[in-house]
Amino acid sequence: MFPSPQVVLRLEAFSCPERRKAGRLVSLVRDACRLRLSVQYSDNCDGGGRVLVALCAALTYADVRLSFEIVGVALLKILASNWRNRWLASVFLFLAWSPAMAAWCTSTSPVATLNINLGTVSEATADRMPVGSVIYTVSGDWDAYGGHNAGWCQNLPAGNLSPIGNLRVKTKVYFSMPGTPVQGYWNDVYPTNLAGVGVRIYIWNPSSYYGTPTRATAIPLSFTADLQNSPPTMRPAYGTGGLRVRVEVIKTAPNWQAGSLRYVGGQLRVTAADNASNSVTLTQVSIMGTMNTRSCSVAAGSRNVSVNMREVAYPNGFSGRQAGAYGPTIPFRITMNCVSGPRTSIQFDPVTAIAGKPDILGLTPNSSNASGIGVQLLSSVGVPLQLRTPVLLTARAPDGASTYSFGGRYILTGEPVRGGRADATSIFTMMYE
């Protein structure tokens, strides 16, 4: 008959309310295995933890001393002083969780930022698009936008996370969006700081990766990642290395606001799958850009307009001899290229002014110039224009090129009239909103 082995069972990181349960388990070990059993308790009565107990059945050794050392996740060391004539019937590990145990989460680096710059968004057909249309799209690798990170969660204290062999950890992965979604878009379109402009974000991993969608899927979304460490020396973690992201700009209202777009607050975070009391944020999402949906420019051929006023005889070519009498109207045109129907105006400013005549262009100073006359600008219907004042062209310019007609004519200023060269210059400014 072999003597009963001596066994030292060390129980670490278990809560004090569970000590009574542990005592009962130790008794079962002693009685079932016929062991001379001593138990060492760690003094951990001020915090939560777990009970890890080694149970055996019919251990029989010849002069054997066994040491059961419970370290980390479930490391069992068996030391024997005499390896002759030994026989091990069975060894069982029973894991009893303390209800006070909280999830422990960490990441490989501080919170990263996914910076997606949309640039300038300008669409000629934007206003004709129905509400709900995708105005603009940008996509690429997640990490290319600076969002690289990885993290994991376990129901273990931080000090007990040394990886041992193959380890599997179930971790909940969340891709969240802050705020209230825009109604009518299946809870995946979120408002930006610009009225009538929303964003939708898709994520996926083309390869099969811990439950991540393999096709573009709108967030918010969540799934459970069954993580496994590979190689065994590494802790199992969920990383962003293979993720792809796509951002869509959505028209959410008939009238939308131009300006600097900003959306901040979307997150990628992980938490324990079976205990969400703790989590860690891996990446913060930041989207920016410029919504330049209503824009105009002067056509290249209209940036410098030369109008030939021709020769006009005095007094026969004028409507009279008195101040305000005018010569024939010479038409000219200015072309603008506009996007998305802005309100457009034009303003003419004189280079040379005439005292007391604010709405007449003065002649360019020169010794050979004529005198006693100026140039008057007219609208397309022949109405004299006020200088230095914006004049409405249209409340809604069509997409593309628009040509606006004007006219110019000589006009008597009331001073003695002298013949000669009669040139005048005006600077015009096109305005849109």
Half-sphere exposure of 170 (CA within 13 A, CB side): 7
- 302 and 283 in a common domain: no
- Whether residue 375 is contained in a domain is answered as yes
The confidence score (pLDDT) of residue 25 equals: 56
- Whether residue 150 is contained in a domain is answered as yes
Q: At 374, list the tokens.
A: 């100026």
The Cα 58–Cα 303 span in angstroms is: 101
pLDDT at 24 over 80: no
- 253 and 319 in a common domain: no
- The amino acid present at 263, given as its one-letter code, is Y
pLDDT at 51 over 50: no
The Cα 289–Cα 197 span in angstroms is: 12
What is the residue range of 36's domain?
A: 6-97
In the listed set 268, 293, 318, which residue is the last one of a domain according to the structure?
293
Q: Which residue has the higher pLDDT, 200 or 92?
A: 200
The confidence score (pLDDT) of residue 60 equals: 32
H or E segment and range at residue 31: helix 19-33
- 152 and 282 in a common domain: yes
Which residue is it, tokens 């979604």? 181
The confidence score (pLDDT) of residue 242 equals: 94
In this structure, the dihedral spanned by the alpha carbons of residues 51, 52, 57 and 59, taken in order and rounded to 10 degrees, is -130
- 300 and 288 in a common domain: no
What percent of the chain lies above the pLDDT cut of 90? 48
pLDDT at 74 over 70: no
In this structure, the dihedral spanned by the alpha carbons of residues 167, 172, 173 and 177, taken in order and rounded to 10 degrees, is -170
Mean pLDDT is highest, among 29-43, 125-139, 153-167, 403-417, for 403-417
Q: Which residue has the higher pLDDT, 163 or 100?
A: 163
- Whether residue 83 is contained in a domain is answered as yes
Q: Which residue has the higher pLDDT, 119 or 218?
A: 218
- 23 and 140 in a common domain: no
What percent of the chain lies above the pLDDT cut of 70? 68
pLDDT at 83 over 90: no
- 424 and 302 in a common domain: yes
Instruction: For residue range 279-297, list pLDDT tens digits in order.
Output: 889 999 999 998 876 678 8
- 355 and 263 in a common domain: no
- Whether residue 139 is contained in a domain is answered as yes
- Whether residue 57 is contained in a domain is answered as yes
Q: Which residue has the higher pLDDT, 160 or 74?
A: 160
The confidence score (pLDDT) of residue 125 equals: 58
- 245 and 337 in a common domain: no
In the structure, what pLDDT confidence band is assigned to residue 321 with cuts at 50, 70 and 90?
Answer: very high
- 260 and 226 in a common domain: yes
Q: What is the CATH number of the domain that holds 315?
A: 2.60.40.1090
The Cα 322–Cα 325 span in angstroms is: 6
**Do residues 18 and 97 make contact, with C-beta atoms less than 8 angstroms apart?**
no
The confidence score (pLDDT) of residue 3 equals: 44
What's the chain's average pLDDT? 76
What Cα–Cα distance (Å) separates residue 49 from each residue in 75, 170, 283? 16, 19, 30
Which residue is it, tokens 């009239």? 417
Give the range among 77-91, 154-168, 264-278 with minimum mean pLDDT.
Answer: 77-91
- 321 and 181 in a common domain: no
The Cα 20–Cα 24 span in angstroms is: 7
- 88 and 165 in a common domain: no
H or E segment and range at residue 28: helix 19-33
In the structure, what pLDDT confidence band is assigned to residue 265 with cuts at 50, 70 and 90?
Answer: confident
In the listed set 275, 293, 311, which residue is the last one of a domain according to the structure?
293
* pLDDT (mean) for 171-175: 91
What is the Cα gyration radius of the chain?
Answer: 42
Overall domain count for the chain = 3
Q: What is the CATH number of the domain that holds 142?
A: 2.60.40.3310
* pLDDT (mean) for 102-117: 85
pLDDT at 22 over 90: no
Instruction: For residue range 323-360, list pLDDT tens digits in order.
Output: 999 999 999 999 998 876 778 999 999 999 999 999 99
* pLDDT (mean) for 72-82: 30
* Nearest alpha carbon to residue 123 among 248, 247, 291, 263: 291
**Which residues lie below 8 Å from residue 342, measured CB to CB, with a gap of 6+?**
294, 295, 296, 396, 397, 432, 433
pLDDT at 48 over 60: no
- Whether residue 268 is contained in a domain is answered as yes
The confidence score (pLDDT) of residue 171 equals: 86
- Whether residue 241 is contained in a domain is answered as yes
- 300 and 285 in a common domain: no
- The amino acid present at 239, given as its one-letter code, is G
Q: Which residue has the higher pLDDT, 79 or 257?
A: 257
- DSSP collapsed to 3 states, 342-402: CCEEEEEEECCCECCECCCECECCCCCECECEEEEEECCCCCECCCCCCEEEECCCCCEEE
* pLDDT (mean) for 129-135: 89
In the structure, what pLDDT confidence band is assigned to residue 257 with cuts at 50, 70 and 90?
Answer: confident
pLDDT at 375 over 80: yes
Q: At 156, list the tokens.
A: 């273990």
pLDDT at 67 over 70: no
- Whether residue 1 is contained in a domain is answered as no
In the listed set 276, 293, 310, which residue is the last one of a domain according to the structure?
293
